[in-house]
Structure 1
């Protein structure tokens, strides 16, 4: 079976603060979709990332996906959801359990960590959900001597 591919990211501004969720997912036939929404809760960066994963999984489930590969740039989320022996984070334990249960409800699902620079589009969507522009590089003028 051909998998759906997804990239998800969450943003908490400030950290902790308002939560934005972003995701890009591609159907097996190559059709792309995006998700960009503000969460109703405030929380820390790990919670934002976890809520982005949950929103992505719920959206894929509603679209009938059965085989998926999910990419996430938060190593804590990937470790907590993917490894039953990871030291739990008590405050987020119920959300991690919800994510594990939802991930296991698919016929086949893989959650993979990727470096942050490979997740820029999902990050931009999470930030846009909060009304923030993407990361901008500002060049400062050189000092004159």
Structure 2
């Protein structure tokens, strides 16, 4: 039953975040949350704290406005004091030059008593880097 509740919480949070309400994810975060977005791109990060986590979403929106994240699947395991959650996301949208952007991301989360304490995101960084280059090459 506990894992079903966690999956529902994650689905609800991603429904909001996927629509651009990133504060839903930030509200779930512990004050000392660790967030890592792997890769050597403008979105690559290894940061701590709720404010830094929120600022990363601002950076995401600046580089890829209008890109949306859709939860495909979520699994949960563990106890309330250390729950592991894995989520698969579709990343979609249209770049500034009109080309479509499609990517897949995997998110590995650790929750403690319902609070996000660790968030690791892996995305196809080759596709992401190409999209970011297209975004910056297109005149505003």
Could you tell me the TM-score, scaled by structure 1's length? 0.27
Where relative contact order (Cα < 8 A, 6+ residues apart) is larger, the structure is 1
Question: Counting strand residues as a fraction of each chain, which structure ranks higher?
Answer: 2
Q: Which has the larger radius of gyration?
A: 1
Could you tell me the TM-score, scaled by structure 2's length? 0.28
